[in-house]
Amino acid sequence: MPVVHAAPMIDDAIAHHRKRGESTGRGRADLHVHTLYSDGGQSPEAVVRAAAGRVDVVGITDHDRVGGALRARDYAREHPELGVDVVVGEEISTLNGHLIGLYLSEAVPAGLSARETIERIHAQDGLAVVRAEDEMRVGMSPTRTIDDIEVEPGRPTIADLVGAKKWFTDLLGYGPYFDEPFYVGFEVAGYELGLLPDADASDGALVYWGVPDVAAAVADAVALGATVHTAASEVGDEIVTASVTTPQGSIVGFIYNPHFGGT
């Protein structure tokens, strides 16, 4: 499963933006996401849409190819209203383990030594990142200039998202249909079971009411005295969710999912 990376990696990415004369503001980033172009579960466009409102920067790093990343970057540029920047990257299979290249313009071939792979990344003015579990195999000698190390910190509210995903997979007997760091979704008898890392754990489990128009449902609820709890946003695959707090303090969710039979 893709991971959210520690602050040093994000800081290096921001510095790289500054070097290129691009946006330098701080925000949330996930710099290791896969798509259907390798072993991910979603199209590049779906990943960008799902990231909107959750992270500011997404690094698409499919295994040994950049086609999905280029497609995601183009889609994000065509839809600036989503507020997502895409970093073109690649998770490269080297002779010494996996390396991640960020800010690439073309694919780096698999099967090279770590040193040659890093040289090719840097030749494109890219950043070379080693996964923590591959650090010993790749090595940190001066001849192998690593720009950063990828680590996996705890989640903000679902501290063990991988563990939660496994628990529900074991309970249901099958895995999620949508699996990214910012949202994990299961389809249960035509209904949505979602793991939201950004959610407030104190809210507990929320029930979502399937509706054909989430924004309209929120507007109707607000007109009756409710307040917006979470604004409407797309979580991927054209699925839109929102929630409101009723005048009595209960939280009610709304969901539009084109895959539901009842909406």
Tell me which of 121, 150, 179 is where a domain ends: 150
Q: How confident is the model at residue 107 (pLDDT cuts 50, 70, 90)?
A: very high
- pLDDT of res. 217: 92
Strands (E), the chain: 29-33, 57-60, 85-94, 97-102, 127-131, 148-150, 178-180, 183-188, 191-195, 208-210, 227-236, 239-245, 251-256
Residue 78 counted as domain residue: yes
Residue 156 counted as domain residue: no
Q: Using a pLDDT cut of 90, give the percent of the chain over it.
A: 29
Q: 99 near 128, Cβ under 8 Å? A: yes
- pLDDT of res. 3: 31
Of 147-156, 159-168, 192-201, highest mean pLDDT: 159-168
- pLDDT of res. 209: 83
Q: What is the mean pLDDT of residues 2-21?
A: 43
Residue 90 counted as domain residue: yes
Residue among 218, 207, 263 at smallest CA distance from 242: 218
pLDDT digits (tens, 9 = 90+) for 36-80: 898 877 889 988 988 887 788 999 999 999 999 999 999 999 999
- pLDDT of res. 64: 95
Residue 262 counted as domain residue: no
pTM to 2 decimal places: 0.57
Tell me which of 123, 150, 177 is where a domain ends: 150
Residue 12 counted as domain residue: yes
Average pLDDT, the chain: 77
Tell me which of 99, 120, 150 is where a domain ends: 150
Q: Residues 194, 109: one domain? A: no
How many domains in the chain? Answer: 2
Q: How confident is the model at residue 136 (pLDDT cuts 50, 70, 90)?
A: very low
Q: Residues 11, 133: one domain? A: yes
**For residue 155, is pLDDT > 90?**
no
Q: In this structure, what CATH number is given to the domain that contains residue 52?
A: 3.20.20.140
Strands 191-195 and 183-188: antiparallel
Residue 143 counted as domain residue: yes
**For residue 11, is pLDDT > 90?**
no
Residue 139 counted as domain residue: yes
Q: Residues 86, 123: one domain? A: yes
Q: Residues 13, 137: one domain? A: yes
Q: What is the mean pLDDT of residues 215-237?
A: 87
Q: What is the mean pLDDT of residues 110-132?
A: 87
Residue 261 counted as domain residue: no
Domain with 181, as residue range(s), is 161-256
